[in-house]
């Protein structure tokens, strides 16, 4: 058996598998597109021919797919369900606290342990000392998986037994960032209206301010080829809105940002950097 199976080899899933391999872990991988497995197999990973084979191969299963629904569908077949008792599922996909609770209930119903997790960094930063990993679930399960998760980032945070905490905190961090972006692009427009350079605006902020990259993009007009497009951020905003709906809380802040994001997409900026929201604010009202 290998120590861990990674299901889903998009940019983050593949980076997780590579990082675990680099840390000396034995890894099995599976992806619907088989070609994505080959580079990892060339590096020493075992390739699974099916989801069932991936689950069979390891006591710990890391899933990193688009969302919880995809994970649920992948694990729904009778041959996979029969293999789940005694194994640990770690969900790294994106979703809401409600979905995390449902995933935990489903895992426990099939005799598996469950952790909900997230990685607060881009794939290229995995394995770094300051890369933040968050996880929630039963503490005993977390302690068992701690050496494995610690390979992915040095800043490993346990958020407690309530699995919804990870998605809640992730949504909170992301809406905080989006609020900063909204303020930064409006600030850029204020400066533009008076002929003040965006670079001067940026120079007056702390060098590590999270909006510095946004202002740099606006100043240099380098909106193409972002790490995350406005369309990707739209999915994030929708998830935050869904969490607000599930929790019956006021959603005026994400609703406002959603309006800007949707206008940007409608204007053809969906494939650009989040800084391109400034273009929406340049449109006549």
In angstroms, the first-to-last Cα distance of the chain is: 62
Alpha-carbon distance of 68 to 135, in angstroms, equals: 16
Q: Strand 113-119 vs strand 88-91: parallel, antiparallel, or unpaired?
A: parallel
Q: How far is CA 35 from CA 39, 40, 41, in A?
A: 8, 10, 10
Using DSSP, how many helices (H) and how many strands (E) does the chain show?
13, 8
Q: Report DSSP letters for 221-273, one per residue.
A: T--SS-SSBHHHHHHHHHHHHHHHHHHT---HHHHHHHHHHHHHHHTT-TTSB
* Domains delineated in the chain: 4-161 (3.40.50.720), 167-282 (1.10.1040.10)
74 vs 52: CA distance, rounded Å = 9
Q: Which helix (H) or strand (E) holds 192?
A: helix 164-193
Q: What is the pLDDT of residue 169?
A: 95
Enumerate residues 6+ apart whose C-beta is below 8 A from 14.
36, 39, 40, 123
CB of 254 closer than 8 Å to CB of 171: no
Please give the pLDDT value at position 284: 81
pLDDT, residue 227, reads: 77
Where the chain has pLDDT below 50, the residues are: none
116: nearest Cα among 182, 73, 63? 63
The pLDDT of residue 117 is 97
Which of 168, 169, 178 has its CA nearest to residue 256? 178
Residue 231's pLDDT is 95
The tens digit of pLDDT for each residue in 149-166 reads 999 999 999 999 999 999
Gap between the Cα atoms of 54 and 66, Å rounded? 18
What does the DSSP 8-state code read for residue 67? B
Give the pLDDT score at 187.
98
């Amino acid at each position: 058996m290998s120590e861990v199976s990674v299901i889903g080899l998009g940019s983050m899933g593949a980076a997780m598998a590579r990082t675990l391999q680099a840390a000396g872990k034995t890894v099995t991988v599976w992806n619907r597109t088989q070609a994505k497995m080959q580079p990892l197999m060339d590096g020493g990973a075992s390739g699974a021919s099916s989801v069932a084979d991936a689950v069979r191969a390891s006591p710990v299963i890391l899933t990193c797919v688009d969302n919880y629904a995809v994970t649920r569908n992948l694990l729904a077949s009778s041959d996979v369900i029969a293999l789940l008792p005694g194994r640990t599922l770690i969900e790294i996909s994106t979703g809401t606290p409600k979905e995390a609770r449902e995933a935990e209930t489903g895992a426990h119903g099939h005799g598996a342990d469950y952790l909900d997790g997230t990685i607060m960094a881009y794939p290229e930063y995995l394995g770094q000392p300051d890369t933040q990993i968050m996880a929630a679930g039963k503490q005993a399960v977390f302690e068992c998986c701690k050496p494995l998760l610690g390979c992915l980032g040095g800043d490993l945070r346990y958020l407690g037994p309530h699995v919804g905490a990870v998605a809640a905190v992730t949504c909170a961090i992301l809406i905080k960032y989006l609020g900063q972006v909204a303020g930064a692009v409006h600030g850029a427009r204020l400066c533009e209206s008076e002929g003040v350079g965006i670079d001067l605006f940026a120079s007056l902020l702390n060098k590590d301010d999270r909006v510095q990259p946004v202002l740099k993009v606006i100043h240099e007009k380098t909106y193409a080829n972002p790490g995350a497009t406005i369309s990707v951020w739209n999915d994030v905003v929708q998830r935050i809105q869904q969490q607000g709906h599930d929790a019956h809380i006021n959603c005026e802040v994400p609703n406002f940002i959603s309006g800007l994001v949707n206008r940007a997409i409608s204007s053809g900026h969906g494939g650009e950097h989040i800084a391109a929201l400034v273009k929406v604010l340049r449109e006549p009202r």
